Amino acid sequence: MKFAIYGAGAIGAYLGALLARSGEDVTLIARGPHLQAMRTNGVRIITSKEDTSVPVRATDDPDEVGPVDVVVLGVKAHGLPAIAGKLGPLLSSETSVLAAQNGVPWWFFY
């Protein structure tokens, strides 16, 4: 399957690295220094059983990815409006979208 993980922070990058390591076609969509670090070093996975780096494909441009089977939305909930208009190139009539946001804003409980 072909995956795009939009918002490849700690959780998105980890999920993407595990999928890539298992042989899936994965592109991580990120920005800034984190994007550059993934391009240069891959995603580092540190657990009690391993410390390894997984090479990944990473970009900041969904147009470079094209339609995928699954889009995982890994941006924080309040970041979704900023990327919603950029999802089009990733979608086809067969694409599933998995909303995996976190980040309840600080003001939510006030």
Q: How many CB atoms lie within 10 A of CB 106?
A: 7
Distance of CA 17 to the CA centre of its chain: 10
Q: Is 98 helix (H, G, I), strand (E, B) or coil?
A: strand
Counted residue by residue, the chain has a size of 110
Q: Domain 2-109 maps to which CATH number in 3.40.50.970, 3.40.50.720, 3.30.420.40, 1.20.1630.10? A: 3.40.50.720
Query: Quick check: pTM over 0.75?
Result: yes
**What's the pLDDT tens digit per position in 44-86?**
999 999 999 999 999 999 999 999 999 999 998 888 899 999 9
Could you give the C-alpha distances from 19 to 50, 83, 86, 101, in angstroms and in order? 16, 23, 23, 18
Q: Is 17 left (phi over 0), alpha (psi -120 to 50) or beta?
A: alpha
- In the structure encoding, which two tokens stand for residue 80, read together? 């979704």
43 contacts 12 by C-beta, under 8 angstroms? no
**Is residue 4 scored above 90 in pLDDT?**
yes
Per DSSP, the three-state class of 29 is strand
Tens-digit pLDDT profile for residues 6-55: 999 888 999 999 999 999 999 999 999 999 999 999 999 999 999 999 99
The torsion of the CA quartet 8, 12, 18, 19, rounded to 10 degrees, works out to -80
